[in-house]
Amino acid sequence: MNPIPINPVHEASTKAGSRSRPLPARPSELPGVSLSAIPTRDGAGNGMSRVSLRNKCSRRVSRPDRGRGLFAAGPMAAPLRHFRRVPAMWRWRLPGPLRPGGGPGGVAVPRAGLKKWTLPPDYSGITIPEKPKLKFMDKVPAVPKLQREPRRLRDIRGPSQVATDFTQGQYGILALGGGYLHWGHFEMIRLSIGRNIDPKSMFAVWRVPAPYKPVTRKSLGHRMGGGKGPIDRYVTAVKSGGLVVEVGGRCEFGEVRPFLTRVAQKLPFPAVAVSRESLQEMRREEERRRLDNQNPWTFERVVTSNMLGMRKYLSPYDLQHKGRYWGKFFLKHRV
């Protein structure tokens, strides 16, 4: 590489006795010399990069001479604001500032694409009732039963025969097991759904009756014996496969699923939020598993054939429900 010539102005000031040492001329001021012609630093770290050379020249020129002014005359009289600094990350100078966009040179390129919009659902056949919110359920029946009934666990055993399909709404809470709803559960459902629905476009209806079954309980510390205890509260029996509440209106399942799921998780039995489509899909999947079963030793065949004399260990409900219901529990994985 040829040596960089010395600026004549600096050379004259040095001869005159100035303390400033001679500075090399800027590469842009040399005739026929550009930054692209100056070799850059290679991978081994040899040489000087264009940016380092530019910064070095700028630092030297920016210091004024203590004696006579260096910018009074000569080829270096141009101010520094006319020289554009190049960031170290760019090896070539850009014609202009970068613009946000993904096109060449950072310029946004307009594009025209085909958009496929999804048609909104049709709510023309939906009618909002006069009272869209859930009604208040009485804690005690209007005509309470004076007699104390037995437990009657068959009220929560097996599949439900009522409230298995939708009547007014499109979404609801489906019970996956048997259990009892207390008055506190009714209030929790009513308040939770009432806070999250819009009465102008949504509604909710009950699918279970108000508490009607009395439950007895003896006082704390009472001596055992003396007959059945007094009535403590009233409950509602719910079987597996029955709907607890329905929600409908001009809304989609994604809007009501969050708060319906929260309500279902607080119930005393397993439950899930469903829609009309998801309920039909669950039943089709159950039927498909029954038809596509490859295991010949099903519970129904083993019990019907009375293998190893197991009929004497089973209940009549096992023969009736084919082993899919065990008390209040629903065994969904059994075919």
Please determine, for residue 281, whether its predicted confidence score (pLDDT) is greater than 60. yes
30-42: average pLDDT? 49
Residue environment code for 15-45, b if the CB has 16+ CB neighbours within 10 A, otherwise e: eeebebebbbbbbeeeeebebeebeeeeeee
Supply the pLDDT for residue 334. Answer: 85
| Residues 138 and 246 grouped into a single domain | yes
Question: Over the stretch 90-122, which tens digit does the pLDDT of each residue have?
Answer: 455 555 555 555 566 667 777 777 778 888 888
Query: What are the residues facing 280 on neighbouring strands?
Result: none
| Residues 144 and 272 grouped into a single domain | yes
| Residues 241 and 134 grouped into a single domain | yes
Instruction: Show Cβ contacts of residue 306 under 8 Å, excluding neighbours closer than 6 positions.
Output: none
Question: Over the stretch 308-324, which tens digit does the pLDDT of each residue have?
Answer: 999 999 988 888 898 89
222 falls within a domain: yes
Rounded to two decimals, what is the model's pTM? 0.64
Instruction: State the Cα–Cα distance between residues 172 and 243, nearest whole angstrom.
Output: 7
Supply the pLDDT for residue 116. Answer: 81
The CA–CA distances, whole Å, from 259 to 148, 172, 277 equal: 37, 11, 19
Please determine, for residue 6, whether its predicted confidence score (pLDDT) is greater than 50. no
117 falls within a domain: no
Angle at 81 between CA 38 and CA 65, to 5 degrees: 85
Supply the pLDDT for residue 195. Answer: 95
| Residues 172 and 223 grouped into a single domain | yes
**Under DSSP, is residue 206 helix (H, G, I), strand (E, B) or coil?**
strand
The residue range of the domain holding 228 is: 126-276
Supply the pLDDT for residue 327. Answer: 87
135-162: average pLDDT? 89
CA 154 to chain centre: 41
Please determine, for residue 73, whether its predicted confidence score (pLDDT) is greater than 90. no
Angle at 175 between CA 172 and CA 177, to 5 degrees: 175
Total number of domains constituting the chain: 3
| Residues 135 and 267 grouped into a single domain | yes
Q: What is the mean pLDDT of the chain?
A: 79
Supply the pLDDT for residue 49. Answer: 53
Please determine, for residue 306, whether its predicted confidence score (pLDDT) is greater than 80. yes
| Residues 131 and 269 grouped into a single domain | yes
Chosen domain end from 231, 247, 276? 276
| Residues 258 and 142 grouped into a single domain | yes
11 falls within a domain: yes
| Residues 269 and 307 grouped into a single domain | no
Q: Which of 190, 188, 183 is nearest to 134 (CA)?
A: 190
| Residues 40 and 141 grouped into a single domain | no
| Residues 156 and 272 grouped into a single domain | yes
112 falls within a domain: no
101 falls within a domain: no
Supply the pLDDT for residue 114. Answer: 77
